[in-house]
A and B are shown apart, each in its own frame.
Chain A
Amino acid sequence: MLLRRIYQFMMIYGLGVLCLLALKMVADLSDYVIPGLDTLWHTFREVAWRYTLDVWDTLRVAMIGQVLSIGLALLVGIVGRQATWFGSFIKVAAYNVQAYPIVAIAPIIFILLGDGFLSRLLIAAMICYFPLLLSVVGIMSQPIPDIEHFYRQTGRMRWQLEVKIRAFENLSKLTTVIVGSATLAMAGTIVAEFIAAGAGIGYSIRIALYQSDLAKILVALFMIGITLSVYQGVLERAGHWVKQVWSG
């Protein structure tokens, strides 16, 4: 599964680069507009290690942001699953917070928290939180009548058990959502770094953009893609492992 993700990414990336090179040839464009293969290779050798460290830095923030989002989404999802006034209030509040585009809020975050780790973390968490919340609320609000009926009839149903039943029955869905949210967490962190941070691959992309260096941007995209593929593969594998352990 992990290997498949990596070679699929390589194929997509390779196709993208081939399209660019075809455009370069057809329109007779210089290396300034679209870099040639030799420039790409030269740039790769020059910046690969530095960009790898940058991507790891970004991934570290994205992972923590994602864990925070999962925790928050589970919390809100569990509280909001109940058809009570408080449950409805939590859901409305959670949705409303998301009504503002993060890019518009980001400058305020940077002014208040500076351009360090916390700002990047907060933005990453905010970007990947909402899709997670929607899925968690959907899953947690959906009863599993066949199983829950028994516990209700025997008077043994507690909220913890209800959450466990619904989570277990929808574990594949939850795994898919969590794997998908990894992309959002990474994108959120990169956006934060691009806007104003002083570290990470988003920051390096911003510098490459200032230098009009598309080759560096393409190398950065490669590094991001390959790292994300591995991370998503690991998450998928972890999901399967959790299911196996839970199933006994």
Chain B
Amino acid sequence: MQRNFPWCSPGAIGLLVLLFCLLRLDVGVSWAEQAVAYRLKWLINMSTVGDVYAKEKGLFAARGLAVDLRAGGPERDAIRELELGHAHFGVASADQVIHALAKGSPVVVLAQLFQANPLQWIYFKDRVRIDALADLKGKTIGVTFGKNDEIIMRTLLARADIGDRDVRLYSVRLDYTPFFSGRADLWPVYINSQGVEIGQRLTAAGESIGFFEPEAHGVRFVANSVVTSERLLAEQPELVERFMSALLAGWRGALDPANAAEAVALVRRYDQDTASEVLQAQLTATRPLVQPMDGPPVGHIDIEAWQQTEAMMRRYGQIDRPVNVAERLRR
């Protein structure tokens, strides 16, 4: 009896060969490059220029990494994703890292992206004058309750011996109407992104604006840093090295004034709603925050600033025990 094997027909064999070729091509990519998930803290904008530059200029690929650059947002938490295995690396603010450490999360800081915190408060110079911390007295100040700007502002107020009754803290929300309409005197902004955009708009409208900078008054609260899990660092140190080397090279390249036009064009691929001129100004504002003139190299971890950040969080009850954050910073 002759048996019929339909899968042995030339058509079926051809199809199998084609499928194998397609799969082989696909697998070929992953064999050549190791897939890496990198969760950012916020949406892709000028604050992530180094990350974008490293990816788009092929710096990751040159080190055998296929990096998936994932935009962040208020509902995203890179540290949680590291622990759950959804990401290999992430960007988190210092308060997030310290919160996580206080709850036993095995997170490690690999690099500090911002040497100066971009968080400042914008104000109208014709309505408000701030020469010293004491000038905050009697003002209505916008803060995002629960976020780092609240801790920073409370620290500043404590330094000036200004009690809760002497100022009004106004809950910050999505739009700037309370600030524009004068219901709040000071409003928190990121100096290198919103600060540039709103500043340009207000200046064009004939307004005179100023920025209140916490660091000028001795409050150093660390901003965004690159983090990974203790496990990945222990099990794949070589992967961590390759990733960090590409990432920091990306940041150095993006901040090099010679590459400014290219860096702006690359960010604009992701952030199409912001005009190139604004992005250009944002890049100029970002440069000294990440790579201060005559300052430490890109990615330097400022241990003292981290310790001050932990002390501030402890003082305002954000953490209930010391976490010795310095031990979790990879120097």
The answer to whether A33 and B74 touch (CB under 8 A), given A211-B146, A212-B96, is: no
Ranked nearest first, the 3 interchain pairs of A and B with the lowest CB-CB distance are A207-B146, A210-B146, A32-B103
Partner of A32, one of B75, B79, B144: B79
User: In the complex, which residues 21-76 of chain A have their Cβ closer than 8 Å to any Cβ of chain B?
Assistant: 27, 29-33, 35, 39
Say yes or no: A107 contacts B175, CB within 8 Å: yes
Tell me if A143 is interfacial: C-beta within 8 Å of chain B.
no
Say yes or no: A211 contacts B99, CB within 8 Å: yes
Say yes or no: A210 contacts B74, CB within 8 Å: yes
Contact with A along B3-30 (1 / 0, CB 8 A): 0000000000000000000000000000
Tell me if B106 is interfacial: C-beta within 8 Å of chain A.
yes
- List the A side residues contacting B173 at CB < 8 Å: 110, 115, 195-198
Which size bracket describes the interface of B in this complex? Answer: 20 to 34
Q: List 19 A-B contacts (CB under 8 A).
A: A29-B83, A31-B103, A32-B80, A32-B105, A33-B105, A107-B174, A107-B175, A115-B173, A195-B174, A196-B174, A197-B173, A207-B145, A208-B146, A209-B75, A210-B144, A210-B147, A211-B99, A211-B318, A212-B96
Q: Which of A35, A206, A209, A210 has the most CB of B within 10 A?
A: A210
Complex Cα distance, B174 from A209, in Å, reads: 16
Give chain B nearest CB distance to A140 CB in angstroms: 39
Contact with B along A191-219 (1 / 0, CB 8 A): 00001111000010011111111000000
Tell me if B100 is interfacial: C-beta within 8 Å of chain A.
yes
Give chain A nearest CB distance to B81 CB in angstroms: 9
Contact with A along B90-114 (1 / 0, CB 8 A): 0000001001100111100000000
Say yes or no: A32 contacts B83, CB within 8 Å: yes
Partner of A212, one of B77, B144, B145: B77
Which size bracket describes the interface of A in this complex? Answer: 20 to 34
User: In the complex, which residues 98-133 of chain B have their Cβ closer than 8 Å to any Cβ of chain A?
Assistant: 99-100, 103-106
Q: Which of A107, A115, A207, A212 has the most CB of B within 10 A?
A: A212
- List the B side residues contacting A209 at CB < 8 Å: 74-75, 146
Contact with A along B141-159 (1 / 0, CB 8 A): 0001111000000000000
Q: A30-B106, A110-B174, A115-B173 are in contact. List 11 more A-B contacts (CB 8 A).
A: A30-B104, A31-B103, A31-B105, A32-B79, A32-B80, A33-B83, A107-B175, A207-B145, A209-B75, A211-B318, A212-B100
User: In the complex, which residues 258-307 of chain B have their Cβ closer than 8 Å to any Cβ of chain A?
Assistant: none
Give chain A nearest CB distance to B149 CB in angstroms: 10
Give chain B nearest CB distance to A181 CB in angstroms: 27
Say yes or no: B175 contacts A198, CB within 8 Å: no
Tell me if A3 is interfacial: C-beta within 8 Å of chain B.
no
Partner of A30, one of B83, B147, B175, B318: B83
Tell me if B177 is interfacial: C-beta within 8 Å of chain A.
yes
Partner of A33, one of B80, B171, B175: B80
Say yes or no: B84 contacts A32, CB within 8 Å: no
Complex Cα distance, B103 from A33, in Å, reads: 9
Give chain B nearest CB distance to A105 CB in angstroms: 13
Tell me if A104 is interfacial: C-beta within 8 Å of chain B.
no
User: In the complex, which residues 97-140 of chain A have their Cβ closer than 8 Å to any Cβ of chain B?
Assistant: 107, 110-111, 115
Partner of B171, one of A198, A208, A212: A198
Complex Cα distance, B147 from A30, in Å, reads: 21
Say yes or no: A212 contacts B83, CB within 8 Å: no
Complex Cα distance, B106 from A27, in Å, reads: 13
Contact with B along A164-198 (1 / 0, CB 8 A): 00000000000000000000000000000001111
Say yes or no: A33 contacts B84, CB within 8 Å: yes
Output the nearest chain A residue to B170 by Cβ-Cβ distance. Answer: A198
- List the A side residues contacting B74 at CB < 8 Å: 209-210
